[in-house]
Structure 1
Amino acid sequence: MALRTDLTEMFGIEHPIVLAPMGGVAGGVLASAVSEAGGLGLIGSGAGERAWLDRECGLAAAGTERPWGIGLLIWAVDIDTVRSVIERGPRAIMLSFGDPAPYAAAIRDAGIRLLVQVTNTDEATRALDAGADVLIAQGSEAGGHCGHRATLPFVPTVVDLAGATPVLAAGGIADGRGLAAALTLGAAGALIGTRFEATHEALISVSEAKAIVEAHASDTERNRALDIARGSAWPAEYPARTLRNPFLDRWHGREDELAGDSVALQEYRDAAEREDLNYAPVWAGEAVDLITGLESAADLVGRIAHDAEKAIMDTAKRCASAPE
């Protein structure tokens, strides 16, 4: 049984699996591996730094002739950045964390599919008004920056609101059962992030990958301390889920105090430059419980798709055979 959805039809792909465009993780090699395996790979370009994009888009184009795309942070870009991304010829551009309206027309006029990630119903309505081709309903179980809604009730809410516009589920999905659940909720597929960090193609260090494989959901927390320590301009309404570390434990609930402590901020920056994971963030969602080792992105895409098909068929058999 092939999982055919509005998403797979829209992009001509085999599986309703989309790589989350994780900054510093999802480069051209990982994106092309996901696309070549039948999903949709997205490069995580964040603010659209041009030299980095030149390199990573070149790697993606060299790695596959199948569709791939680029993700941008709305709050961190301007129209010139968006036009620069358009020139690189992606099949999809994903906008997240802000109002997509200023950039939607340029993307759609270029014949590029517009994906918009949303974290609440107001954002979903705004994205639909802007003409989004696909909405991504992101729950707070996600790794990295996120909103405040749980995935399970949020996805069907966005599906009902979106009508004919396809919706992807994101947040806490790491295996075929999660994809099957997303499809059952009415989504056209899943955007998966943390699970793809634990692949050979991801742009993370060996120590970060090891930390993700060994972690449990209870080791993650949502915080703003790391954005404050990094001097990041991330909007305060979007906390970030990361693995806990001693620096976070020390400053938990004391974010305002941290912002004014120049000694602590310099201590953090010095340690982060050394990639000391007692300080530096390891972006990870609650699905880390389901990650038991590193594997290739291609194997992962195939296994998630296969296991989702099996989960759907097993559920149908189990429900059909249940006594009345």
Structure 2
Amino acid sequence: MALSTAFTKMFGVRYPIALAPMGGSAGGALAAAVSRGGGFGFLGGAFGDPEWLAREVPIVAGTDSPWGVGFLTWGIDVAVVERALEYGPRAVMLSFGDPSPYAERVRRAGALLILQVTDLEEAEQAVDLGADVIVAQGTESGGHGARNGRSTLPFVPAVVDLVDPVPVLAAGGIADGRGVAAALVLGAAGALIGTRFQATTEALVAPSITKAILEGRGRDTERSTVLDIARGSRWPAKYPARTLGHPYLDQWRGREAELAADPQARQNYQDDVARGTVPPLPVWAGEAVDLITDLPSAAELVPTLAAQTEEALTRAGRR
């Protein structure tokens, strides 16, 4: 069974699988491995740190495979996007915020424009801005997402119907080929996968993060703003983050306003990090973390996911 979709044809890749541009952890080696494996690798450009990009872009750009870069739209400016476009990415993905100041610049540079959306209003805006691909992110996803978003299962087909014929990638709670197959059945042209690729040999994460993901369970994940407030992060409160359990979640759950108004509590967090009492970073993880039990190379994982997808679709067809 060939996994040919509008996405694979548009990007010239073998499988309808893309790496989520996870800030910092989706570096050049991971993006390159995903692309070599037959998927599409995105660098996690986050806020567009020029030193980070200068270090990581050559790693993926030297593979002769298509690649892209993703940014946090609320935290960048035009100069960041223009700098990234100088590297010649096949696509630029923008998430969380108003992408309108950047859309035309991306298109003028000859890159494909990919916009991640968390509700139907954002999906309509993405169509109006001429997005080449739209990512429909469900609330099961790890990391940041909409406070009042919708689950992947009902959200993806709603976006597919609304934006047709623009190809849609499903995101959120997808960690194996069964999830990719489900996305295709829902009408998506592929899947954007994050947490599963965190647990690969090429991911730029500390061993403690990898260990936590391999041992984590979906029931232990929680979407909250507590850790962003404690860390002094600039993330807008409308985008809480799904993470694994954390002592500060237990201490401050439901007391977010109090935490935000207490500078000593935030200093205590920094002191706890320095002492090693709490991890340096939260463990961003989606609800499908239960399905992640090994640490493969991403280049090997992509065709494995594709084979699982074909098997799931074949099995469903027999039934």
- TM band (smaller chain): over 0.9
Give the count of matched residue pairs.
317
SS of the aligned residue for 2:140 comes to coil
By how many angstroms is 1:275 displaced? 6.0
Distance 2:170 2:209 in 1: 25
Unaligned runs of 5+ in 1: 319-324
Corresponding position of 2:273: 272
Alignment of 1:127 with 2:126, yes or no, is yes
SS of the aligned residue for 2:139 comes to coil
Q: Which amino acid counterpart does residue 125 of structure 1 have in structure 2? A: E
Identity of aligned residues (%): 59
Which sits farther off after the overlay, 13-22 or 270-279? Answer: 270-279
Distance 2:38 2:129 in 1: 28
Which sits farther off after the overlay, 128-137 or 260-269? Answer: 260-269
Which sits farther off after the overlay, 254-263 or 271-280? Answer: 271-280
By how many angstroms is 1:288 displaced? 0.4
Alignment of 1:18 with 2:18, yes or no, is yes
By how many angstroms is 1:224 displaced? 0.2
Corresponding position of 2:187: 186
Tell me, yes or no, if the aligned pair for 1:248 and 1:279 is still in contact at 8 Å: no
SS of the aligned residue for 2:169 comes to strand
C-alpha spacing 1:80/1:279, structure 2 compared with 1 (3 Å): closer
C-alpha spacing 1:66/1:272, structure 2 compared with 1 (3 Å): same
Could you list the per-position Cα deviations for residues 75-102 of structure 1 after superposition, in whole angstroms to 9, with x for gaps in the alignment?
1111111100100110010000011111
Structure 1 runs of 4+ off > 6 angstroms? none
Distance 2:140 2:273 in 1: 25
Could you list the per-position Cα deviations for residues 27-55 of structure 1 after superposition, in whole angstroms to 9, with x for gaps in the alignment?
00000000011100000011101011000
Could you list the per-position Cα deviations for residues 268-299 of structure 1 after superposition, in whole angstroms to 9, with x for gaps in the alignment?
12333566545731000001010112111011
Distance 1:163 1:47 in 2: 31
Corresponding position of 1:112: 111
User: Over aligned residue pairs, what C-alpha RMSD do you find?
Assistant: 1.1
By how many angstroms is 1:59 displaced? 1.3
Distance 1:275 1:135 in 2: 40
Corresponding position of 1:293: 294
C-alpha spacing 1:279/1:107, structure 2 compared with 1 (3 Å): closer
Alignment of 1:61-76 (within 5 A): 61-62=61-62, 64-76=63-75
By how many angstroms is 1:173 displaced? 0.2
Corresponding position of 1:167: 168
TM-score by length of 1: 0.96
Tell me, yes or no, if the aligned pair for 1:271 and 1:280 is still in contact at 8 Å: no
SS of the aligned residue for 1:43 comes to strand
Tell me, yes or no, if the aligned pair for 1:268 and 1:279 is still in contact at 8 Å: no
TM-score by length of 2: 0.97
Corresponding position of 1:248: 249
Corresponding position of 1:141: 140
Distance 1:66 1:275 in 2: 40
Unaligned runs of 5+ in 2: none
